[in-house]
Structure formats: C-alpha cells, structure tokens
Structure 1
Amino acid sequence: MAQPAVETYYEDGKWKIKVEGKERASKTFETKAEAQAAGRERAMELHTEHVIRNMDGKISEKNSYGNDPRPPKGSRG
C-alpha cells in the first residue's frame, strides 16, 4: 500500500502542511515558500508524493520522492 501524500495548502490565513488522511495540519507557516520547503522535506522522509496547492485550492504542482508507480523510462535498471 502506498504511503499517503504530504499536502501543502492555504487555509485560514496560513500556509499549512499535513499528511493526507489526517484531520489537522502538522505545521503552519507565514509563507508558501516555508510551507513548501517543510512539505518537501516531510515527503522525502516518508518517500511519498508532495502535493502543492494554490491559495484557491487547485493543485499547482506534484513531486514524487519515492515509490513512484510510474518511474521515468530507463530508471528501472
């Protein structure tokens, strides 16, 4: 089973990160850049995907840090 993704999102005037499926954010930040950096670090620790959302909630970016179900061609050895 795949590890749940880490989300970076904006809510209640703050940028937040949380692991999908959790009720509450694990950390809050003043800027998107700070939240993105923390979210990337957490996703790398968990070897999972990092989903970054804009202020309106739309996904702006996704990055995978392990367990990629569709790795790029030529990376399977």
Structure 2
Amino acid sequence: MSNQNRRHVVPNPNGGWDVKAPGAKRASAHTDTQKQAQDRAREIVSNAGGGEVRIHGRDGKVRDSDTIAPGNDPFPPRDKK
C-alpha cells in the first residue's frame, strides 16, 4: 500500500488536529476537533481508493487505526460461525 492511501490524525502544536500523510511536512487538512479530522482523513483515503487511517492521541501515540475499504486490513475480523 502506498503512502498516498495512508493518513495520520495528529494533534497540531498550535491547537486543533491535522490530517497528514506519512513523511509529509504539510497537513492535508486542519480541523478544530479530532472527530472532524478523523472524518476528513477517512474521506481522503476513501477518495484515493481505500487504505489506512491512524489516529493518534494528544501524547502522539497511535491509539486506533481504521481500514477504509477496499484497503488491505492487516487484522480483519474473524467470521462468526
């Protein structure tokens, strides 16, 4: 999966939240809330054909990730039988 199909939701040091591609200097988007940034990141990744959204906490550590279809989920849910 290329970096174009991956985005990180990270806190901005000046307030608010940024949506950034891995290794990017500039943000793809800036929002007031983490929820808005998550929604925008999902939209960006979905428009690019699917991929991964990684959500960071205020401490900068990854606290959650989300695979946007038709991305390749490294840990897909088990089928219930």
Do they fold alike, i.e. is TM over 0.5? yes
> Which residue number corresponds to residue 61 of structure 1?
64
Q: RMSD of the TM alignment (CA)?
A: 1.8
> Which residue number corresponds to residue 22 of structure 1?
24
> Which residue number corresponds to residue 3 of structure 1?
2
Q: Would you identify which runs of 4 or more consecutive aligned residues in structure 1 move more than 4 Å?
A: none
Unmatched 5+ stretches in structure 2: none
Question: Distance in 2 between the 1:23 and 1:57 partners?
Answer: 16
Q: Secondary structure at the match of 1:24?
A: coil
Q: 1:69: Cα distance to partner?
A: 5.7
TM-score, with structure 2 as normaliser:
0.76
Unmatched 5+ stretches in structure 1: none
Contact 2:67-2:73 within 8 A present in 1 as well: no
Identity across aligned pairs (percent)? 25
Q: 1:70: Cα distance to partner?
A: 3.8
Stretch moving more, 60-69 or 42-51:
60-69
TM-score, with structure 1 as normaliser:
0.79
